[in-house]
Structure 1
Amino acid sequence: MRLILASQSPRRREILRKFFDSFDIVPSAVSEESTAENPVEHAIEVAKRKALDVYTRYGGVVIGADTIVVLDNMILGKPRNKKEAKEMLRSLSGKIHKVITGYCIVREGEEITGYEITEVKFRELKDEEIEWYVSTGEPLDKAGAYGIQGKGGILIEWIKGDYYNVVGFPIKIILELIDLGFKLS
């Protein structure tokens, strides 16, 4: 059974590789825009479109995922530039936000969808810390302008929930794959 990750995220690839030896990577070209009315529906809708896009072209067992950062019911996507990254980090400073990953696994035309929510509390950040972090370049390709697995970990006061979800690939996906018969490496 061919396992395919419908993502170009190096973080998702890294996490999946911790548990499974063999899988292919086929990024989806679908838009991450959504008309969903709430963040959970948004994340699931985008993940489903990614998985179905790749499944219709390659078959196999395809995993699609979409991770979003939500503050006060507003989705913080990937910053377009350093200024936007600084604004996002200032808005997260001292606050609790949610990281939501929607996922979809397509196998033999059937879909398994789900999501994971993790709460994250940022420390109160000083302007110098924000300037330093943005200067590393790390926030520019990450939802919410930070990566907990990298230098951005220093910004975090605590998390409640699945750490891997904050990185972008919740353990729930691994458990679903085990249930489908995939063996851990």
Structure 2
Amino acid sequence: MIFNKFKDKHIVLASSSPRRQELFKKLGIDFSIKIKEIEENYPLNLKEEEITNYLAILKAEAFEGEINKNEFVVTSDTIVWYKNSALEKPKNKKQAIEMLQKLSGTHHKVITSVCIKSTEVQKVFFDTTIVYFKQLTSDEISYYVEKYKPFDKAGAYGIQEWIGFIGVTKIEGSYFNVMGLPVHKLYEELLKI
């Protein structure tokens, strides 16, 4: 089996995201979930993948001193980068509607960083996908926000939900990266480690 080399290693996914957990399961790796609450603050001078790299490392550092020699901790962070600023998770309905109005009829980057940490190694990598939206109507935006409540999603949308079906016209890069985990890169990096 491909992952035989992990039979003596334990992988911890440090994410409460149901999308990341689902994607991890589909990779076929045994893992457990441990979550630590941290303040996701970063220096304001950071841009694009500097932000997600910083936050993925910050999340991994929360496990410092708790990792045993047979463990790998995997952390991740995703942002939507639009017009030189980060669109993070909306705090309320109004913010979600405003974010989708900004993204409507244009394109943006989705950047996800992953940190793999053990007692011996710390590896950080990222992936970028460009997502194009059609011109969304105010009814479409309101319906989506009301029905799907995308308050746990960067940029106020999930590509795998209704808004992705009717609104996304094209992507350049990994679909799964937009869901929050560049599984193709994670697979390669785990094999290297």
Superposition TM-score, scaled by structure 2 size:
0.89
Q: Distance in 1 between matches of 2:102 and 2:76?
A: 25
What is the alpha-carbon distance in structure 2 between the residues aligned to residue 68 and residue 56 of structure 1? Answer: 28
SS in 2 for 1:159: strand
Q: 1:111-139, CA deviations, whole angstroms, 9 ceiling, x for partnerless residues?
A: 11111000001110011101111111342
Letter in 1 for 2:78: T
Report what 1:168 is aligned to. 180
Please, which moves more after superposition, 100-109 or 117-126? 100-109
Which residues of 2 match residues 1-185 of structure 1 at below 5 A?
A: 1-35=9-43, 36-59=45-68, 60-153=71-164, 154-170=166-182, 171-180=184-193
Is the 8 Å Cα contact of residues 67 and 119 (structure 2) preserved in structure 1? no
Q: Distance in 1 between matches of 2:141 and 2:65?
A: 43
Structure 2: which 5+ residue stretches go unaligned?
1-8
Q: CA deviation at 1:55?
A: 4.7
Q: Is the 8 A contact 2:133 2:169 kept in 1?
A: yes
Runs of 4+ off more than 4 Å: none
Matched-pair identity in % = 40
* Letter paired with 2:55: V
Q: 2:107·2:130 contact (CA, 8 Å) conserved in 1?
A: yes
**How far 1:140 sits from its partner (Å)?**
1.6
Counting matched residue pairs gives 180
Q: Secondary structure at the match of 1:70?
A: strand
Q: Post-superposition shift, 1:27?
A: 1.3
Unmatched 5+ stretches in structure 1: 181-185
Q: Report which stretch shifted further, 36-45 or 93-102.
A: 36-45
8 Å contact 1:70–1:76 — kept in the other structure?
yes
| Aligned 8 A contact 1:27 1:54 in 2 | no
Aligned partner of 1:107: which letter? S
Within 1, Cα distance between the matches of 2:46 and 2:67? 31
Deviation, 1:178, is 2.3
CA–CA distance in 2 between the matches of 1:128 and 1:74? Answer: 26
Instruction: Quote the residue 2:3 is aligned against.
Output: none
TM-score (norm 1): 0.92
Distance 1:97 1:28 in 2: 30
